[in-house]
Amino acid sequence: MRKTLNTIRRTKIVATLGPASDRPGVLEAMIKAGVNVVRLNFSHGSADDHGRRLSEVREIADRLGKSVAVMGDLQGPKIRIARFRDGAVTLAKGQPFVIDMALENDAGDSQRVGCDYKALGQDVVTGDRLLLDDGRLVLQVDSVDASEVRTTVVVGGKLSNNKGINKQGGGLSAAALTDKDRADITTALEIGVDYLAVSFPRSAADMHEARDLLGEAGKHIGLVAKIERAEVVADHATLDEVISASEAVMVARGDLGVEIGDAQLIGVQKRMIKRARQLNRAVITATQMLETMITAPLPTRAEVFDVANAVLDGTDAVMLSAETAAGEYPVEAVEAMHRLCLGAERERSTQESGHRVRQDFARIDEAVALSAMYAANHLGGVAAIACMTATGRTALIASRIRSGLPIVGLAHNPLAQRRMALYRGVSSVLFDTTTMAADEVNERAIELLVSKGIVTTGDQVILTRGDQMDAHGGTNAFKIIEV
């Protein structure tokens, strides 16, 4: 009996926590509705807020018998204008406007405004375009000196305090990790996140720096590279290096879309998802997926197709931001996301794969995991693939192959179990083998799958494992077992 995709959702849901999810009963309802990973946005809230929310997630998940991972998300170098003396101003097309790094923070007016990024004048030249407030206003640079960037307004509109600045085409040199981020990394370690997202990495070196800051105490934390800079996607080698330096990547379509333009963003999203899967990394698609559900109980048709396209492309997860953090319908947004993912996954193409059929494998565990998935997709009686794993890696590699079959990660510890909450098509259960005799491990694994209702008598299960059960990368065999 093959499991169908009509009831088992393979694409994972990431939901951001905030004031909306803090309302009584809402977080538990969101988790019941299908949230797999929660996001703690370090751009807002205190360390105490993040610790409290993480503890609530752990308590609710344990009580409900669910595995929910927690991702901390660093703010990164948000480059912003300063504030206006008398409130928001309106800029008219064609008028001059100066970004003045020497101006006091609260002294802005309709002619000029300060900036918190003092190196802006070193990063731009005459002819560059600056995009303010997520691209709603556009300024063309006329001239630059040490403290002033003089511009002409190309696209005008209302401009209020502390709005972000992007450079069209990328190239602002602000470091990815700020002093605030370093403090937040300490918070992430103290409260015990499972993933840590790094904003605006310029290269793999930024991801390596974050890994070094996590140190030995944070070696189990998965790093997520948020792809937001134009220069990262402009060069294939740089993108590959950033992906390879991370455990997962996020297609962060907000700032990235502003820098490269909406027209390019379409293809970039598809290429990023494909490349992350080829490099055995998880991938999250984010930003404005169900934006209208911040204030409306149902998504638009355009949002329906946006979610569906990401699922059809093979994304591991889709992310809700303000919809669940500050919106009026956080639970309904999760329910809608669940429903849309299931609808897209019924399409036959989501169950078929030609992934790496003409490429060599570099590792034994990779060869075993992918071979097991090929066998499962072509052997009619297989009902599930079960991966014994100390880190979750084997299940991740297996999930790079599209399939209609459930992949079950038999996790040797809770950290590995939560890590797998992000991987497409993977469910996980605790399976501690430390007290088992070597000759009973397989039998006990099958008994666990039966008890969970994943397989039944007469089914075939493909079981991957290693000779050294707790060894990282130790998977070296798979076996086909009849229940």
> Per the structure block, which two tokens stand in for 355?
């992934």
Contacts of residue 193, Cβ cutoff 8 Å, sequence gap at least 6? 40, 54, 70, 71, 72, 221
Rounded to whole angstroms, how far apart are CA atoms 444 and 50? 38
Q: Are 444 and 363 in contact (CB under 8 A)?
A: no
- Among residues 467, 431, 425, 468, the alpha carbon closest in space to that of 446 is found at 431
Angle 113-119-121 from CA coordinates, rounded to 5°: 65
CA distances from 413 to 53, 220, 261 (A): 22, 11, 43
Nearest 5°: phi and psi at 390?
-95, -15
Residues serving a catalytic function are 39, 80, 226, 287
* Pairwise CA distance, residues 336 & 317, whole Å: 14
The amino acid at residue 365 is: D
- Name all contacts of 353-356 with Cβ < 8 Å and 24+ positions apart: 353/377, 353/401, 353/402, 353/403, 355/277, 355/278, 355/400, 355/401, 355/402, 356/278, 356/400
Q: Distance between CA 246 and CA 280 in Å, rounded?
A: 10
